[in-house]
Every structure is written in structure tokens, then in C-alpha cells.
Amino acid sequence: MIFSQFTTKTKDYLKSLRYLKDYVSFDLYLKNTWVIPKKFVGNIEVIKQDKSDRPDTNLYSFVVVNDVENVNILETSFDNILNFNLEREEKEKLFKEKIEELKKVFESKDVDSLKRLYFDVNENTSLLTNEDIIEDEQQVNTSGDGEHDVVVQETTAE
């Protein structure tokens, strides 16, 4: 991706770009309600900062080795995280709208009519399971067996 395209796309999220020896860090604001799916970050080190200077956001540093391939991977990863969460927000909004519609149906119909109510749901439509995302309790370092599912570390970048 051309860097100017990336910076234009991330203008509402990007706080800073830093060079740290042989690494580059993209410091990005993500809404508190957003998640970072493990499948999108791979070998990228993601560090959740202690504080964010924007309300209702978390500040994350996405750190990779400073070479073209890794920076491109980071850009693609952020694209995926952004699209995933925007779609999730839209689905949640739609879900709430449909719940309200259903409430109105239940308020306006008698019990016999409601018993005949039928829903046809496409089997290909499914919601994510908890194992597909990084949850708050998984965003801290784990210890013990040496196996880490950790993607977000609660430390500060130097």
C-alpha cells in the first residue's frame, strides 16, 4: 500500500509514527468497544498503553521491524481490524433495530398470532465466538506453561 493512502485512511486513528532503533511503531487510537482479533495481528507486537488522551478510546502501539514487508503487513492488519470493527458496530446497530421491531410485534399481536410467528434465518450467518477475539482478561501477560495467547501487553513503549 502507498504510505499516503494508509495515513489518509488512518487519520482519525493515528496518533504518531515512531522509529525505535530497527523498529517502527504506529500509535493508534481504537474505540474502547473495539476488539483486536488475533488472526489479524500475527507477528505484530501490540502494546496497550496505560492512558489515552482521547475519551472512550484505548491507545495501542503496533510495532514491527522497520522494513517494507513488515510495514505492509501492519498496514493490512490495521485495515482488517478497522473493517472488522466497523462491520461489528453496524451489525450491533442493526441487531438493536431488529429487537425493537420485534418488541413492537409482540406488543401489537395477540398470543395466538405470536405462536404462529416464524423466523427464517440463513444458516451461513453466524456471530463470532469469544475465542475469535482478544478479550480484556486476555490482554495481560500470562505466566506458567510458557504458552502465550497474549497479543496485547499492558506496558508502556519507550
Average confidence (pLDDT) per 10 residues, the chain, 158 residues: 77 92 94 93 92 94 94 92 94 92 88 81 55 46 36 39
Domain spans in the chain, listed from the N-terminal domain onward: 3-78+132-154
Q: What was the pLDDT predicted at 150?
A: 34
Q: Residue 1: its pLDDT value, please?
A: 58
Say if residues 119 and 101 touch (Cβ distance below 8 Å). Answer: no
55-56-61 Cα angle (round to 5): 90
What dihedral do alpha carbons 137, 129, 47, 8 form, nearest 10°?
-150
80-92: pLDDT as tens digits: 999 999 999 999 9
Q: Is 80 exposed, middle or buried (0-12, 13-18, 19+ CB in 10 A)?
A: middle
Which of 88, 35, 87 minimizes the C-alpha distance to 60? 35
Per-residue confidence (pLDDT) for residue 25, from 0 to 100: 94
pLDDT at 156: 42
Starting at the edge strand found earlier in the chain, the sheet holding 152-154 runs 14-20, 23-31, 57-65, 45-48, 152-154
Residue 3's nearest CA partner among 79, 71, 84 is 71
Q: Rounded to whole angstroms, how far apart are CA atoms 140 and 138?
A: 6
Residue 75's alpha-carbon distances to 7, 70, 81, 86, 98, in angstroms, are 10, 9, 10, 16, 35
Burial (0-12, 13-18, 19+ Cβ within 10 Å), 17: middle
pTM, entire model: 0.69
